[in-house]
Amino acid sequence: MNRYIILLTCIIIFACGKSSNPSGEYPTDEIPTPKEEVITFKLESLEGVGYFNAVLKFTVTAGNKNIRSRGVVYSTKESPTKEDELVLAASTTGSGSFEVQLDRLSEGKTYYVRPFAEKTNGIFFYGDQQKFETVSYPEPTVYLDSLTFLNQQTFETYWKMFYPWGTDHNGSARMYEGQVSLDGAGMLKIKADRTEVWEGYSTADPWLRIFYHSGAIHAKQQILVNDERPYWVVSGDFKVPTMVGSWPAFWITGAWTWPPEIDIMEFKGNNTNWQNTVTGPDWQNTSWQTTKTVVENAGSWHNYKLIMYKTSATHVAAELYIDGQKKATHTGDFVGKPFWLIINMQMEGASGGHASGPQSAEMQARNIYLAAYDVIP
């Protein structure tokens, strides 16, 4: 019996030690995978590089099979990967060419870019690194900044009291120097106080009776869009009253004639901000472009901004913003026409009240900014 067991064991050992593939072929799980064809790229063009964008065109020169996606990866650091910024091709062709548009860049930065292609099996191939630099903003000439309200000395260096033409305008307030004050930390206040003392009538249309002492200031630097200064930025932060009878404003008006005028911030007795652009050959023939925006909590800080730039030999575009959001683009034939910049608190008139306005009202201003560029960014 033991002799038969030994013989059977030997047969089993012999069978296990012998190849199960006498033909010499590999078992299925041992067949070597063919080497993946490498994808190579060629940069065809790098164009449209601006402040925030660029357009790159590549061609896949080898390995243009079984590609699931293609595009670029980019970073401000060298050797970017898909873990950095990744943008898919905006368009492709059957020849393997593709175009990528980058539009979330920062101005004045160096970017490193590598084309990529992903095979249907998930393998990524990267091409050679490319490098480019976005356009830097030109340096502006800054005429006013947050320091001009820091103290009396800086204020008097850059600003003058009242309107450029005097103390009266189109409401029932007459401007007095004592109604304007600085808080010592870069903020200006203008307060309007009601008075029953007879002071006559305003010397400006519509010649209302004077019921208020208030304040107005204007910048010494005029604004002039021309070939030497084709692009201007005017901006400021304000807290304003919105009760009936209060009429705060931040605006520019013609230094030679009226019109022109652009109202950057103007509240007329409620929480609707008026942004107006006035054009026309003279004061009797005017055309108004008006954009109205309800500003919640106008008594809290909000930013109001104008960007004005030359679009032709005679005309400008006036982009108007509130808290960084563009509200309108107006146009006007303002090239070569100087402007005054004014901050004031007028009362009644277009804001209502009519001899029954509030006892007092106050507006606050800070971070006034005025700058010009010698090129259009």
261 noted as active-site residue? yes
Which residue among the candidates 156, 177, 261, 319 is catalytic per the annotation?
Answer: 261
Query: How big is the chain, counted in residues?
Result: 377
By the 8 A CB rule, do 90 and 124 touch?
A: no
Question: Which residues is 190 bridged to in the sheet?
Answer: 180, 363
3-state SS, residue 10 = helix
d(CA 290, CA 351): 16
Burial label, 325 (beta-carbon count in 10 A; 0-12, 13-18, 19+): exposed
Round the CA-based radius of gyration of the chain to a whole number and report it: 36
- Two tokens at 234? 């005017």
Which residue among the candidates 47, 83, 156, 266 is catalytic per the annotation?
Answer: 266
Which residues have CB under 8 Å from 355's CB, separation 6+?
172, 209, 211, 348
**Among the listed residues 66, 61, 63, 59, the one whose alpha carbon sits nearest the alpha carbon of residue 37:** 63
Other CB atoms closer than 10 Å to residue 372's CB: what's the count? 21
Residues catalogued as catalytic: 261, 266
